């Protein structure tokens, strides 16, 4: 049997789910399957067992003729009469153990001048060749942690005269000024752009290449428009109209001020300064005396989930550890002429009270990760580090996705400083957000089991996003908030066949269930299928009586030929009946994946099973009366993806009749346990090569009943990485054994 690799496909789900191609061949009599098997089903022949195979009909005829000619000798199977069919269909190579010694990710921090491959889906930025010197390696490992530093490098000294903005001067934030405290401004750039437009300003530069909407020069001008609005806002602290104030504003403080001509010359240096300062933002807002929150929506208090300010990736790092907040809210007022105008007002309150209101709105919207983050911030120690870190990471990825991955490269920098261990700023390269996040997770290995994150990450929104196992997380809902890892998982260093370094997820203590590659006829159905029990009893009784009669007749010298004929004819009849029963029922054991539509990749057995596979299975095997759904009634998590991106189908347990709806990027052949999730067990669906030294590819997620844990196969570890690093051809057991051995083993079937 040839097992084909199934590439990712684009599926048009606007077409009908119904398996139209199967309809003409369904409902055929079982005897017809002795010659030509149903589509998508592997027959009982000795070779070429699929109907697409060239010699499929010839192989079935040879098998039928053999059982007719040798009828008395093949009526009963030799050896175990029932025979066991593997529930856990593991490949031969999976029995080997992975005994190599992978590098620890922290052993090889990113080179300061390293530039990761932008086309890689994995995190190559976190893996560079280590020095051969053990002392140098030790030094590099001890330098991966950054020490706490909440002081910004630059600050604005803002001049306010008559309650209006007068100007500013950037200064180095040295010991001379630190005792006076500073105000950190937190805002949505789109809101600042609204102020910029209302002031009659226009951008000077065209849109730069990439995701950025404005040039660096225009971003600074837009931020200065927000600074003017802040200085003219009506405060509630009776502040003097003429004052100087220390203000930290990102676009004007994350790099040193330069003259216009000098700025263009030092573009690389400016970029380096900005990247480093962005990684320090959680510390900057934690150290601020006051944090000002702003969006341009009239009467918005910035605590609801609809506020554009609250949706940002960086909002978490800016507000979680703030000491005092000032809500900067725009209101409609009348000017001296009686016309309506928008005016900003400042409302000061303890940051804890501000977060309490945010937490209240998060609970109303069922945003439980955000709720947990805010609760942990206000009541430190109320959650374990495992729970707190998980909530932070999942919420950050969710915000990153909802923003269209606008700031994806800053994903880890937005979290750096919020976790127990922080990364060196130059190790977060800002090239690949997934790579930086993987590095940050490994730094916090003592506090967080990455298996929890892997259990909630679904397939990416596009083939380009994600890194093999990371992806957009699903939201916790009532009934599936329970998440207890059953394995340990962490990234390790590895090298693919082309010599490129990458970091697959290493699942330690892996528990795996292999999926059957297709439906298969049960050649021993008469002996072991419970639905054929009556047929077995009646047919065996008739055969035994006929044989007794034949033996008695053959014992008479003149009727020996007649007795032998009776033995032979009744054996032929029994054999044909046994073969027909085998062509009636499927082998009822183990899990199989049935796709709703065709893959259209040229693979054998490519058959659409529709949105109701039970209806199709009943026409192939009448004993399939119904399939029981595992899903909504159990309130299990679901990993839905965009409608037309991936293949939809069902995992079916042929033994118990349980059906689970899943979404996959390619055909799975295995699933590995991650943890108890809600009332079920979460598995990662894999396309796993037979070679134990090659990484598996994540192709989907599924929740299965807990009893499946009893059927798992244990192994030391399984590694999951990007699709480009996986094997392109997964050999089956039968390819290893060879066609000749398969034929010989089936002769007595």
- Report, as an integer, the average pLDDT of 326-335: 92
677 pLDDT above the threshold of 80: yes
pLDDT in tens, 633-643: 888 898 877 66
H/E segment holding residue 483: strand 483-485
412 pLDDT above the threshold of 50: yes
- Report, as an integer, the average pLDDT of 199-211: 89
pLDDT computed for residue 464 by the predictor = 55
Instruction: Return d(Cα 736, Cα 730) in angstroms, integer.
Output: 11
What is the average pLDDT score of the chain?
82
pLDDT in tens, 72-98: 888 887 654 555 667 788 776 777 777
- Report, as an integer, the average pLDDT of 632-655: 85
pLDDT in tens, 587-599: 988 999 999 998 8
pLDDT in tens, 11-66: 444 444 444 444 455 667 888 889 998 888 998 888 998 888 889 999 999 999 99
Q: How confident is the model at residue 156 (pLDDT cuts 50, 70, 90)?
A: very high
b or e along 455-475 (b: 16 or more beta carbons within 10 Å of the residue's beta carbon)? bbbbbbbeeebbbbbbbbbbe
211 pLDDT above the threshold of 90: no
The radius of gyration of the chain from alpha carbons, rounded to an integer in Å, stands at 34
Q: 413, 432 in Cβ contact below 8 A?
A: no
b or e along 552-570 (b: 16 or more beta carbons within 10 Å of the residue's beta carbon)? ebbeeeeeeeebeebbeeb
pLDDT in tens, 432-442: 788 888 888 88
Q: How confident is the model at residue 324 (pLDDT cuts 50, 70, 90)?
A: very high
Q: How confident is the model at residue 267 (pLDDT cuts 50, 70, 90)?
A: low
Greatest mean pLDDT range, 53-57, 108-112, 701-705:
701-705
Q: How confident is the model at residue 683 (pLDDT cuts 50, 70, 90)?
A: very high
Instruction: Return d(Cα 614, Cα 62) in angstroms, integer.
Output: 32
135 pLDDT above the threshold of 50: no
What ranges do the domains of the chain cover?
154-422
DSSP sequence for 221-273: HHHHHHHHHHHHSB-SS---SSEEEEEE-HHHHSS----HHHHHHTHHHHHHH
HSE-CB for 696 with a 13 A CA cutoff: 30
pLDDT computed for residue 467 by the predictor = 63
120 pLDDT above the threshold of 50: no
For the whole prediction, is pTM greater than 0.75?
yes
Alpha-carbon distance values, 442 to 195, 420, 422, 546, 709 (Å): 42, 12, 11, 73, 28
Other Cβ atoms within 10 Å of 533 Cβ, number: 12
Helix (H, G, I), strand (E, B) or coil at 648: strand
DSSP sequence for 167-208: EEEEEE--HHHHTT--EEEEE-HHHHHHHHHHTT----SPPP
pLDDT in tens, 463-496: 555 568 888 888 888 888 899 999 999 988 777 6
């Amino acid at each position: 049997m040839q097992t084909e690799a199934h590439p990712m496909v684009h599926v048009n789900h606007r077409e009908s789910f119904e398996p139209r191609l199967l309809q003409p061949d369904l409902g055929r009599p079982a005897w017809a399957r002795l010659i030509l098997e149903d589509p998508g089903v592997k027959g009982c022949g000795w070779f070429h067992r699929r109907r697409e195979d060239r010699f499929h009909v010839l192989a079935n005829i040879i098998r039928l003729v053999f059982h007719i000619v040798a009828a008395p000798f093949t009526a009963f199977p030799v050896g175990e009469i029932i025979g066991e069919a593997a529930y856990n269909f593991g490949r031969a190579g999976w029995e080997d153990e992975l005994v190599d010694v992978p590098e620890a990710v922290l052993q090889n921090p990113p080179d300061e001048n390293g530039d990761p491959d932008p086309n890689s889906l994995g995190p190559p930025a976190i893996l560079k060749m280590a020095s051969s010197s053990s002392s140098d390696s030790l030094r590099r490992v001890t330098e991966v942690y950054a020490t706490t530093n909440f002081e910004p490098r630059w600050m604005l000294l803002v001049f306010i005269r008559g309650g209006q903005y007068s100007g500013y001067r950037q200064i180095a934030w040295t010991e001379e000024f630190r005792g006076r405290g500073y105000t950190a401004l937190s805002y949505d750039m789109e809101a600042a752009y609204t102020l910029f437009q209302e002031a009659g300003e226009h951008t000077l530069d065209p849109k730069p290449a990439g995701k950025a909407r404005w040039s660096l020069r225009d971003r600074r001008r837009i931020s200065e428009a927000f600074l003017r609005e802040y200085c003219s806002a009506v405060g509630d602290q009776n502040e003097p109209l003429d004052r100087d104030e220390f203000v930290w504003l990102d676009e004007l403080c994350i790099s040193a001020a330069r003259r216009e001509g000098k700025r263009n010359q030092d573009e690389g240096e400016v970029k380096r300064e900005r990247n480093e300062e962005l990684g320090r933002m959680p510390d900057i807002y934690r150290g601020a005396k006051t944090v000002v929150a702003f969006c341009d929506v009239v009467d918005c208090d910035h605590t609801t989930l609809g506020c554009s300010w609250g949706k940002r990736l960086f909002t978490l790092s800016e507000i979680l550890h703030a000491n005092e907040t000032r809500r900067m809210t725009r209101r409609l007022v009348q000017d001296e002429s009686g016309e309506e105008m928008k005016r900003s007002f400042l409302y000061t309150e303890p940051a804890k009270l501000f977060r309490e209101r945010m937490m209240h709105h998060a609970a109303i919207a069922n945003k439980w990760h955000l709720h947990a983050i805010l609760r942990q911030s206000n009541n430190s120690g109320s959650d374990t580090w495992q729970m707190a870190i998980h909530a932070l990471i999942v919420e950050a990825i969710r915000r990153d996705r909802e923003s269209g991955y606008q700031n994806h490269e800053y994903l880890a920098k937005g979290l750096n400083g919020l976790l127990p261990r922080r990364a060196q700023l130059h190790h977060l390269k800002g090239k690949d957000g997934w790579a930086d996040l993987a590095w940050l997770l490994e730094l916090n290995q003592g506090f967080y089991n990455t298996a929890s994150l892997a259990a909630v990450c679904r397939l990416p929104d596009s083939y380009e996003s994600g890194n093999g196992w990371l992806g957009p997380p699903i939201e916790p809902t009532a009934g599936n908030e329970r998440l207890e890892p059953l394995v340990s998982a962490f990234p390790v260093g590895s090298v693919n066949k082309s010599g490129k370094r990458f970091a697959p997820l290493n699942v330690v203590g892996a528990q795996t269930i292999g999926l059957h590659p297709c439906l298969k006829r049960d050649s021993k159905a008469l002996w072991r299928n419970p639905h054929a029990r009556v047929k077995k009893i009646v047919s065996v009784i008739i055969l035994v009586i006929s044989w007794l009669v034949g033996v008695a007749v053959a014992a008479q010298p003149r009727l020996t030929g007649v007795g032998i004929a009776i033995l032979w004819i009744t054996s032929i009849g029994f054999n044909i009946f046994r073969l027909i029963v085998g062509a009636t029922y499927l082998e009822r054991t183990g899990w199989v994946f049935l796709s709703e539509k065709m893959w259209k990749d040229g693979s054998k057995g490519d058959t659409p099973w529709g949105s109701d596979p039970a209806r199709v299975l009943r026409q192939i095997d009448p004993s399939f009366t119904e399939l029981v759904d595992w899903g909504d009634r159990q309130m299990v998590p679901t990993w839905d993806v965009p409608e037309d991106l991936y293949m939809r189908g069902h995992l079916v347990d042929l033994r118990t009749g349980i059906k689970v709806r899943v979404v996959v990027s390619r055909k799975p052949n295995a699933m590995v346990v991650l943890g108890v999730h809600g009332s079920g067990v979460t598995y990662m669906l894999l396309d796993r090569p037979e070679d134990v030294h090659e990484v598996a590819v994540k192709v989907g997620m599924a929740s299965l009943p807990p009893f499946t844990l009893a059927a798992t196969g244990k192994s030391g570890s399984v590694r999951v990485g990007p699709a480009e690093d996986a094997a392109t051809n997964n050999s089956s057991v039968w390819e290893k054994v060879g066609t000749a051995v398969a034929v010989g083993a089936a002769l007595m079937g």
